[in-house]
Amino acid sequence: MDLREIKPGIAVISSIHWERRLFDALIPLPEGTSYNAYLVRGTKATALLDTSDPVFRDEFLRQLDSVPSLDYLVSQHAEQDHSGLIPAVLERFPSAKLVCNEKARQILSAHLPIAPERFQIISDGESLSLGGKTLQFIFTPWVHWPETMCTYLSEDRCLFSCDLFGSHLATSDLFVTDQAQVYDGAKRYFGEIMMPFRGILAKNLEKLSAFACRLIAPSHGPGYNRPEFILSAYRDWVSPKMRNAVVLPYISMHGSTEIMAKHLIAALAARGISVQPYDLAVADIGKLAMSLVDAATLIVGTPTVQLGPHPAVHYAAFLANYLKPKLKYAGIFGSFGWNSKAIDQLVALIPNLKVELLGTIMQKGLPDGDTLLKLEALADAVARAHRDDPEVICP
């Protein structure tokens, strides 16, 4: 891939990681990902915003072959997929300054070999003129690290947003061409990365609304030349409004929990509730995170293993608790052979979820008629809770 111009004086250096399938040894990447750095050339100076993942070292440096000099390297985010090649770029351009905020300096200094004199520390709102191109730095902490910031190029009304508004999507498209595909990728990204910081993210969105940007240039996935598409999606995802939907992760060892799951899915659907079941034996955990972005209810199904929940359910509950989705209701069902403490253990795993527990149902052995009726009563309770809650969007 060569350096490509997205507007006069602004070029993207794309590293497209088509084959990557896991991020942070944790997050599934079914569509791969990309790391975008941006080169901004003014009449007096040139700046590079971010770098790339270290695995792209040779390709990234080759794209810089056509850049005769660099005055500033801006680090918007210290995570390695954007900062990993900072030492290589500083070595290539020995007079370039590394521009970042103080928090970023501390993190970068701890992880990368960077001489202290290379740093130029900027404050929130400070501007840097390149000559006809003015970079303004906007601190947006906790999207998703403490040092994260965006950069606004006022002459072009272009917002460089780094992880914010990004999508884990390997594509050669400079801008969004398939909105549905990018919406899914961005929602997955939000669910996996941004969701725990929803509160501060809403404040950052408010702060960014003061900038009438025409173009958003994220560091993952394609750019947005119609920014309202992604801005309105983010406003929805951070708002208190929820879908009339149940996310239903479950797993079954000998069939009992599966019978209960299937009965509950049918009962919820019969009551007009959208159900998103995930059989945790085969589920894409990233898709589960994506479903949690706007669902009102989480219902977990588990068999009993050594008195507690199945390890896969334990992990899903841990993840839901960590991601802090805006859920308001929950339920637990499952089965056991001779004894179970799975419900108590699952409840203890989700202290971050401020949910009302609508029902818990544990079955010894195969589900009987009484248990199926209890599952229908749980579906009734979900339907009632959703209907009576003004924050749940019901038809």
- Of 77 and 314, nearer to ligand FEO (C-beta) is 77
Candidate residues 7, 41, 82, 314; the one interacting with ligand FEO per rule CB under 6 A: 82
- Of 31 and 79, nearer to ligand FEO (C-beta) is 79
β strands within 251-294, DSSP E: 274-279
Candidate residues 31, 50, 81, 147; the one interacting with ligand FEO per rule CB under 6 A: 81
- Of 82 and 187, nearer to ligand FEO (C-beta) is 82
**ω before 111 within 30° of 0 (cis)?**
no
User: How does DSSP classify residue 389?
Assistant: -
Neighbours of 123 (CB within 10 A): 9
- Of 83 and 252, nearer to ligand FEO (C-beta) is 83
Neighbours of 369 (CB within 10 A): 7
Tokens encoding 118:
């290379």
Pairwise CA distance, residues 122 & 115, whole Å: 17
Instruction: Output the smallest distance, CB 144 to ligand FEO, in A.
Output: 6
Subset of 133-152 contacting ligand FEO (CB under 6 A):
144
Choose the stretch contacting ligand FEO; rule: CB under 6 A; options: 75-83, 119-127, 320-328, 367-375. Answer: 75-83
User: Closest CB to ligand FEO belongs to which residue?
Assistant: 79
- Of 189 and 278, nearer to ligand FEO (C-beta) is 189
SS3 label, residue 260: helix
Pairwise CA distance, residues 86 & 105, whole Å: 12
Candidate residues 31, 50, 79, 156; the one interacting with ligand FEO per rule CB under 6 A: 79
Instruction: Output the smallest distance, CB 166 to ligand FEO, in A.
Output: 7
- Of 82 and 97, nearer to ligand FEO (C-beta) is 82
**By rule CB under 6 A, what count of residues binds ligand FEO?**
8
Residue 88 CA to its chain's centroid (Å): 28
SS3 label, residue 162: strand
- Of 80 and 297, nearer to ligand FEO (C-beta) is 80
Q: With binding defined as CB under 6 A, does residue 163 bind ligand FEO?
A: yes
Instruction: Output the smallest distance, CB 235 to ligand FEO, in A.
Output: 21
Angle at which helices 198-208 and 228-238 cross, to 10° = 140
Q: With binding defined as CB under 6 A, does residue 77 bind ligand FEO?
A: yes
Angle at which helices 228-238 and 179-189 cross, to 10° = 40
Q: With binding defined as CB under 6 A, does residue 97 bind ligand FEO?
A: no
Q: What is the 3 state secondary structure string of 295-326?
A: EEEEEEEEEEECCEECHHHHHHHHHHHHHCCC
b/e burial code for range 197-212 (CB count within 10 A of at least 16 → b) = bbebbbebbeebeeee
Choose the stretch contacting ligand FEO; rule: CB under 6 A; options: 74-82, 174-182, 331-339, 376-384. Answer: 74-82
Name the helix (H) or strand (E) containing 175. none
- Of 163 and 294, nearer to ligand FEO (C-beta) is 163
Q: Could you tell me which of 31, 391, 346 has the C-alpha nearest to residue 220?
A: 31
Subset of 189-228 contacting ligand FEO (CB under 6 A):
219-220
Instruction: Output the smallest distance, CB 291 to ligand FEO, in A.
Output: 22
Instruction: Output the smallest distance, CB 10 to ligand FEO, in A.
Output: 20
Q: With binding defined as CB under 6 A, does residue 31 bind ligand FEO?
A: no
Residue 331 CA to its chain's centroid (Å): 25
Q: Which amino acid is at 150?
A: C
Instruction: Output the smallest distance, CB 98 to ligand FEO, in A.
Output: 18
Binding site for ligand FEO (CB under 6 A): 77, 79, 81-82, 144, 163, 219-220
